[in-house]
Structure 1
Amino acid sequence: MEAIVAAQREPNSRLRDIIDTVDCTYETLARDVRRIAAENGEILQTNKSAVSHWVNGNRTPSGRVGQYLAEALSRRAGRTITRTEIGLHAGEGEEPTESDPVLAVTHLGRADVERRRFLAIAAFTTAGVAMPLAHDHEATARMLRARTGTSLVGGEDVDVVRQITVAFSAADERLGGGHGLTTVTAYLADTAAPMLRGRFPSEALRRAAFGAVAELAYLAGWKHHDLGQEGAAQRYYQVGYQLACEADPHGHAAWMMRALAHQALSLKQPHHCVDLVEGALQRGLGHVDGRTEALLHITHARAYAATEENSSAARALLSAEDALLRDDGPQPSYSCVSGPAAGTVASHTARTLTDLADHVGTEQQHRDALTRWDPEKYKRVHALTHADLGDSLAAQARADEAVAAWTQAVVLMEGMTSDRTRKAITSMRSTLAIYQRRKVPGAADLARRAREALA
């Protein structure tokens, strides 16, 4: 159970008034807080009595619970509600605000290395998903150019950043997000981001430098996402978007908008996602190759399916398939990081069809995806895809095949430091318990493997 700390015994009228405004019960609000905590990797036992204590002033939320409470009320209200608005002090964990993305990504990287509190307790917010829709790129660009230093940056400097990103991305796929996170963020803060303050011999090289650092920020965000640290991941994606705007306000910026939407969809929080991906498509169409465009369309399809706009989801799926057939230029490095486009489209088509309750189609797409990914280079992708395949087979009451797919997933997950793989194992256990009682072949052995993997 989460800790609670004593407070002054004055009623928290601000919190009470906001709860009255959004018109929800204490029990409903407590459930919302528990769900948001779970999104951010924390299991709470918050109940209506805890909410009552907060309102009466007998207790105040501790740790990250205040953030979860503010986010729960924000979602109910349809606008951002801060902790100050509900009578809570931000405290020492308050995140510093910085409009300069170079300074912001430097602070994030150092906060990671130094284990600073604000990043450790950062929570994913639905309002944060929509950040690009209100971002003033022109003002940021003017500020960045005004802060140019004197050190000359060459092409070799940019190439090294890209090489490091490629190397750690490859390791991430095999070993999980926990491998090399501190090394990546230290390099980002101490070497890559400061490079952007230098003088560049050409505008093309300057854009390439910003693009390279944006890709490294994306990798840091992706690592946090894989570890279930969604608040930190969202912060890196946001600053990666700002840097990408300086590199390429069309294709690369669109890709980072997709990253924010992808994260929200994986957390089953589709708010703003349709608008965000539509904005990404408006930026990217005509400026990206067919494979990158397909990846934007498939995220659009997932956003539509998550909001039960089924006919729009079907049209977006067709758009993704059509774009994938185009061979009109090289795929940029920022979208190559997701692996073979055909495999990614198949995987996300499967997730879209899952939301549409088409389990047969889901199975077919997962099997197609497995043929598209190199099993050695993309070991985690194969593991998670086998887990998803098992889910789709279980949904079709094909128990033996589900156990076989899940067993393959658990075997591949051995040695990985990844919260996503742990969640995949956890999600199969309730069905496995049923299979054990029915004495499905292999279920007991798989249940044992699952327990050992989570120990």
Structure 2
Amino acid sequence: MRWVADWHESEGLKADGVIVMGVRPNERLANALQRAGISNRDLARRVNVRAAAAGLNIAIDCARVGRWLKGEHPRDPVPGIVAEVLSQKLGPLTLADLGWSHTGIDPMDPLWSPDGAAHSLHEYARSDLMLSRRDMAQLAVGLPLIAAAERLWWADPPAGTTAPGPAARVGKEDVAGIEQLVRHFRDLDGRHGGALFRAAIVAQLQDVTELLAHGRTSTPAVDRRLRQTAVDLAQLAGWTAHDAGYYGTAQRYWTHAITLARQAGDPGRGAEVMSRLAHQMVYLGRPDDALQLLDVAGRTAAAAHNLRLTAMLTAQRGRMLAAVGDAQASLATLAQAQEHLARAEESGERVEEWIAYFTAAELAGATAVAYRDLHTLHGKPVGRASIHFAAAIEQRGAGYERVRAMDMVGMAAAHLEEDNLEEACVVAGQALDLAERLDSTLIRSRVLTLATATDRVSSHPQVVELHQRLGGWAAPDLHAA
């Protein structure tokens, strides 16, 4: 595919290969070029070389770079390639550092039309595939993130759905096949960790969003069902990006997913994706942000009337309250989650696939992490975390190898904190044997908590070998999970 670079300035519209942003000069791009000591001609050459190496037929010249500096915005994947080229000179850069975003659209804009949201996500997925080893998206945190989450669900979107196009051809059977593929991806992610299959998930998401963007569904009901499938794929793409350590990329997939869930009229899926944003924030050491995101998710979930979803969100809140050190509220909230889950099990309500992972084992794991955080972060021992980790492991079904490894590592760390050194070493050895077979930043982060727990007893004869084995795991840029 050749990316044509014709600029229709008088029209002020999206042209082939560019998005016209007006006449404001791009000062951030100019500053980056000056700091890098790269001329317009040299940047064009480097972009063309990098694009060719990625198998793209892109032709950029120095005049094109000049128009970027005047305010023109190139289409994906060109911005990402420019950021990668300049990052080689200046260190890691995001698109925002260069005055750009993917497709020139705010990735947290809730006012996309149905086809606009699908198109934006399609372009983002395509760019992600082109530059799969880079995280170009700027991470939103604090008030901007909370405000965006509010807007994503509660702002009034344009009405209507994408009208079927002339090539409408996707029917119920086609969507059923894609749904089956999503189940397969979920299973692979749980068994092996997400990094290995991330590109395949993103590629499938790109295909699905292309169908949505061009109105290639046969009926409104099929369109809604395919849009829900796109939500599931975007959630998975975000989760696997998060598991690979691409936090900004994960956030962008999730914000797109929330918009698609709103357009599909599916508050349950929307609230579940919001909980992923909250999980990421507590993982990155921002539990206050996580609690506010869960407030938004809870209001969104109210319309879904799903007891299992309510139980999951309540358990997440209990964990976040532990992270901020509120022991009393954390324990009370976790007890409420137990009650909600019991009602869900007794009610006979349909277990939706997107929330089926939340079981008694998942609740036990959240409780264990809460107990751990209260003790290790805030000096508030409320009970033995190892008991809850053990319960999670015992109740965990087949196919959840990543979370099983995380629970086992957590249990080993808890045994160390509880001075059960012999049991800790046995469990830790088994956990690391399993963890070494999986590709997951989340597991490596959980190992960090175990390495930290061994520090105070590293000279003990029973722990020396374990401490040495952990030396190759605990990278300094990981967060405790």
Shorter-chain TM-score bucket reads 0.7 to 0.9
**What is residue 371 of structure 1 aligned with on the other side?**
394
Deviates more, 1:323-332 or 1:303-312: 303-312
2:105 to 78, 97, 121: 97
The alignment partner of 2:350 has SS state of: coil
The 1:260–1:452 alpha-carbon spacing in structure 2 relative to 1, beyond 3 Å, is closer
Question: Structure 1 unaligned runs (5+)?
Answer: 9-60, 68-82, 84-88
Q: 1:6: Cα distance to partner?
A: 7.8
Q: Report whether the alignment pairs 1:405 with 2:423.
A: no
Query: Which amino acid counterpart does residue 285 of structure 1 have in structure 2?
Result: A
Once residues 449 and 237 of structure 2 are traced to their aligned partners in structure 1, the CA distance between those partners, rounded to angstroms, is: 26
After superposition, what is the alpha-carbon deviation per residue over 1:116-174, rounded to whole angstroms, capped at 9, x for unaligned?
Answer: 79x623243213355221226665443x6256534143112221221111111111122
Once residues 319 and 297 of structure 1 are traced to their aligned partners in structure 2, the CA distance between those partners, rounded to angstroms, is: 7
Asked whether the equivalents of residues 271 and 298 of structure 2 are also in contact (C-alpha less than 8 Å), the reply is yes
Once residues 359 and 412 of structure 2 are traced to their aligned partners in structure 1, the CA distance between those partners, rounded to angstroms, is: 23
Asked whether the equivalents of residues 5 and 62 of structure 1 are also in contact (C-alpha less than 8 Å), the reply is no
1:346 to 346, 359, 364: 364
2:413 to 391, 398, 403: 391
The alignment partner of 1:360 has SS state of: coil
What percent of counterpart residues are identical?
23
Q: 1:431: Cα distance to partner?
A: 4.3
Query: Which amino acid counterpart does residue 90 of structure 1 have in structure 2?
Result: L
Asked whether the equivalents of residues 311 and 338 of structure 2 are also in contact (C-alpha less than 8 Å), the reply is yes
The alignment partner of 2:444 has SS state of: helix
**What is residue 305 of structure 1 aligned with on the other side?**
322
**What is residue 280 of structure 1 aligned with on the other side?**
297
Q: Report whether the alignment pairs 1:125 with 2:140.
A: yes
Larger Rg: 2
Once residues 104 and 175 of structure 2 are traced to their aligned partners in structure 1, the CA distance between those partners, rounded to angstroms, is: 28
2:286 to 248, 269, 274: 269
2:92 to 32, 41, 64: 64
Q: Report whether the alignment pairs 1:182 with 2:190.
A: no
The structure, 1 or 2, with the larger RCO (C-alpha pairs under 8 Å, 6+ apart) is 1
**What is residue 6 of structure 2 aligned with on the other side?**
none
**What is residue 42 of structure 2 aligned with on the other side?**
none
Give the TM-score normalised by the residue count of structure 2. 0.70
Once residues 410 and 458 of structure 2 are traced to their aligned partners in structure 1, the CA distance between those partners, rounded to angstroms, is: 20
2:402 to 368, 380, 383: 380
Mapping of residues 200-219 of structure 1, within 5 Å: 200=217, 202-219=219-236
Query: Which amino acid counterpart does residue 259 of structure 1 have in structure 2?
Result: R
Asked whether the equivalents of residues 312 and 358 of structure 2 are also in contact (C-alpha less than 8 Å), the reply is no
Q: 1:5: Cα distance to partner?
A: 9.9
Query: Which amino acid counterpart does residue 368 of structure 2 have in structure 1?
Result: A
Question: Structure 2 unaligned runs (5+)?
Answer: 1-31, 37-88, 107-111, 376-380, 476-481
Q: Report whether the alignment pairs 1:106 with 2:106.
A: no
Q: 1:199: Cα distance to partner?
A: 5.6
Once residues 373 and 346 of structure 1 are traced to their aligned partners in structure 2, the CA distance between those partners, rounded to angstroms, is: 10
Asked whether the equivalents of residues 103 and 123 of structure 2 are also in contact (C-alpha less than 8 Å), the reply is no
Query: Which amino acid counterpart does residue 414 of structure 2 have in structure 1?
Result: S
**What is residue 28 of structure 1 aligned with on the other side?**
none
**What is residue 385 of structure 2 aligned with on the other side?**
362
Once residues 414 and 364 of structure 1 are traced to their aligned partners in structure 2, the CA distance between those partners, rounded to angstroms, is: 24
The alignment partner of 1:386 has SS state of: helix
Q: 1:387: Cα distance to partner?
A: 0.8
Once residues 421 and 34 of structure 2 are traced to their aligned partners in structure 1, the CA distance between those partners, rounded to angstroms, is: 51
After superposition, what is the alpha-carbon deviation per residue over 1:259-298, rounded to whole angstroms, capped at 9, x for unaligned?
Answer: 2111111222123322321222223236333222210111
Asked whether the equivalents of residues 218 and 240 of structure 1 are also in contact (C-alpha less than 8 Å), the reply is yes
**What is residue 332 of structure 1 aligned with on the other side?**
352
**What is residue 134 of structure 1 aligned with on the other side?**
151
Query: Which amino acid counterpart does residue 120 of structure 2 have in structure 1?
Result: A
Asked whether the equivalents of residues 353 and 359 of structure 1 are also in contact (C-alpha less than 8 Å), the reply is yes
Q: Supply the RMSD in Å over aligned alpha carbons.
A: 3.0
Q: 1:368: Cα distance to partner?
A: 1.0
Give the TM-score normalised by the residue count of structure 1. 0.73
